Structure 1
Amino acid sequence: MLKQLKEDIQAVFARDPAARNTLEVITNYPGIHALIMHRVAHKLWEKDCKSGARLLSTFSRFATGIEIHPGAKIGKRFFIDHGMGVVIGETAEIGDDVTLYHGVTLGGTTWNKGKRHPTLEDGVIVGAGAKILGPFTVGKGAKVGSNAVVTKEVPAGVTAVGNPARFIYKDKVTENEEEQRRRNYAESIGFQPYATTSDQTDPILEGMRVLLDRIQNNEARMNTLCQRLSLLDPTFKKQNQEEQPFSEEELKIIEEVRRECEAQSSSSKA
């Protein structure tokens, strides 16, 4: 128990630059207070002393503003920063090195008995005000953005943002020739579809990229057709390569979409 407490305190120093010394952490961090009381309450719960466990849990909620059901399973080096308003349900399971911020809810969506709360694997970070609702798994190393509402399984290593939550994936490969071709073409028409960092893809941006590919392929086919027609008919005027590929109205729409993508990218980074 003391070894576990030491690890929990070290986790505070690792994840909160405001922490100055051990005494300050022990006396002033409600997340530590709630975690200590939960570990005792959980032991009582496992020994079938459920009334005592619930009583200690209720006192912990009163003292810290953090509600953790004594039946919840919590791993090593768990850190609740700020803490006020955090709710962790009975069948929730939390792995090692997990971080929660204030206002987070790990809740259920059914009144049925059995597993009804989420499982957070190792290294998960959940931002302030996020709601994770249901008996599914948030994968190892995943991040849930502030105020996100998650109601389905989150793959390992991704970031979930928004309400309802959408996933931002990290690309696992470096930019290849196909990606470079897309980038060069986008620049040639004055449109930047990558409104986020190169190692992430947003679903909306991914859709824009697919549309951009289709436009480029169609233009390439049209150019080839025009070249062949010019060989068959010398009077046929070859398509002007300098011609603006979009009308002013179309460019205005693209610019609005680009700004929206940038706004979503900025909110996901926050």
Structure 2
Amino acid sequence: MIGARRFRRTWQRLRADVRVVAERDPAVRSLGEAVLAPYLPALWLHRVAHPLHRRGHRVAARVLTLLGRLLSGGCDIHPGARIGTGLFIDHATAVVIGEDAVLGDDVTLFHHVTIGAVGWWRDRSRQPGERRHPTLGDGVVVGVGASVLGPVHIGGGAFIGAHCLVTSDVPAGSRVTAPATTAPPRAVPAQSARTETPRREPA
């Protein structure tokens, strides 16, 4: 009976994962296309690997997530990460989700996003059991190339813009953006001085 309940719960999550692709990816025209979203192999194998990791089968869990990364083209989800329903990862390339990261429901990540730790030089000074990775609330959006680092909390509905570096808490519903790149004004070449030859009047 317990196995049947677990199967139904897993099946509902898989359906939610596919449905969210169809809802959020404008390039997808059918559920058949949605099933082929590049990040889904990594996410689905993570759903299998996470319980194994919690039970201490760390090597088996790592093998599954490595396979998921290969099948997804570089979406690296640690088996220890906790991920809610409705995660959408657009393009999936070079996405990293760290060991004790927590992602709520309906989170959206774009490519080249890191949800990770600050670095080993900081982590080695933490106490055993102290968190190293971020917590993202429900409905958070993290834009292209952004990094959310350390044990910070991103409140529900927050928007992290492209190429932001976030190392502190972000309140729910907030919008964080990086300065946009502007092109320098175009240099106008100085006009060269022209020497006029005096005109000779006809005799």
TM-score range, shorter chain: 0.7 to 0.9
Q: Are positions 1:12 and 2:21 aligned together?
A: yes
Matched, 1:48 2:56: yes
Residue correspondences, number: 164
Structure 1 position 162 matched with structure 2 position 175: no
- TM-score, length-normalised on structure 2? 0.77
Q: More deviation in 71-80 or 16-25?
A: 16-25
Whether 1:111 and 2:123 are equivalent positions in the alignment is: yes
RMSD: 1.5
Is the Cα contact below 8 Å between 1:25 and 1:32 reproduced in 2? no
Secondary structure, in 3 states, of the residue corresponding to 2:89? strand
Distance 2:39 2:70 in 1: 13
Structure number having the greater helix percentage: 1
- Amino acid of the residue matched to residue 94 of structure 1? L
Residue in structure 2 matching 1:23, options 26, 29, 32: 32
Higher RCO (CA 8 Å, separation ≥ 6 residues): 2
What CA distance in whole angstroms lies between the structure 2 residues aligned with 1:34 and 1:25? 14
In structure 1, how many angstroms separate the alpha carbons of the residues matched to 2:115 and 2:88?
15
Pairwise CA distance, 1:37: 0.8
TM-score with structure 1 setting the length: 0.58
Shift of 1:47: 2.0
Would you say 1:138 and 2:154 are equivalent positions? yes
Q: Percent identity?
A: 46
Residue 34 of structure 1 aligns to a residue in which SS?
helix
CA offsets, 1:97-153, max 9 Å, x none?
100000000111232453110000000000010000110100010000011101100
Please state whether the residue corresponding to 2:123 is helix, strand or coil.
coil
Partner residue of 1:71?
80
1:38 to 46, 62, 69: 46
Question: What displacement does 1:23 show?
Answer: 1.8
Larger Rg: 1
The Cα of 1:29 is off from its aligned counterpart by 0.9
Cα distance in 1 between the residues matched to 2:168 and 2:100? 16
4+ runs of 1 displaced by more than 3 Å? none
Contact kept, 8 Å, 2:101 with 2:133, in 1: the verdict is yes
Q: Is the contact between residue 146 and residue 161 of structure 1 (CA under 8 Å) also seen in structure 2? A: yes
CA distance in 1, matches of 2:100, 2:90: 22
Q: How does 1:95-110 map to 2 (within 5 A)?
A: 95-109=104-118, 110=122
SS in 2 for 1:30: coil
Segments of structure 2 that go 5 or more residues without pairing to the other structure are: 1-9, 183-203
